[in-house]
Amino acid sequence: MSHLIAPSVLSADFTRLGEDIEMINQSEADWFHIDVMDGVFVPNISFGMPVLKAIKSMSKKPLDVHLMIVQPDRYIQDFKDNGADILTVHYEACTHLHRTLQAIRQAGMKAGVSLNPHTPVDVLIDVLDEIDLVLIMSVNPGFGGQKFISRTFDKIRRISQLRDEYDKSFQIEVDGGVNEGNVKSLIDCGADVLVAGNAVFGASNPSNMISKLKNIK
């Protein structure tokens, strides 16, 4: 299966958010990637429920919601009610990860787990049965435009190895510093879903850039 492209709405122009959402709708993108930050787990604040609900009302593609917040269990149903199709929580923010993942699935969403750059992928071995997606952060979470951390390639290879070893089918997603120069290498390591923020919205023609990223083999 061809890799998926999920433009990060955090990098969009908020003065013309509706136009950027429609651009993604009409493009070759597969998902909307939406970063939710609380100013506690990461040193930044982003979207709340009203913005998520507004994006859902306009979107024609799944909403891939990445929670960079503490106590995500408190809001699982709220994110479902406001349009999330995939809900990803951070391993580092969940005291009872197994229970959190089960709750996400029970609410009717796909369940994802994200790992910060310093967290080894082997910590997920005991919850692989509950995971639909593993999101490997290739920058430190909280801000766009950071430099890609090269150690990410090894982490993708390792989680891909675990997927094969345990005969699982979860998707591997990469977020941070994704661009034309590293897409092929990421795919070759085993990545299935690529989040692109500045690479898309910093381009002179974002729709064309999505097409380029989508069609790199």
Cβ atoms of 85 and 109 closer than 8 Å: yes
Selected catalytic residue, list 20, 30, 132, 175: 175
Cβ atoms of 104 and 77 closer than 8 Å: no
Selected catalytic residue, list 35, 38, 64, 192: 35
68, two tokens? 């960079």
User: Which alpha helices (DSSP H) does 63-148 contain, by range?
Assistant: 76-81, 97-106
d(CA 159, CA 157): 6
Asked about 175 being catalytic, the answer comes back as yes
d(CA 32, CA 5): 9
Supply φ then ψ for residue 57, to 5 degrees.
-65, -20
Asked about 35 being catalytic, the answer comes back as yes
Give the active site residues: 35, 175
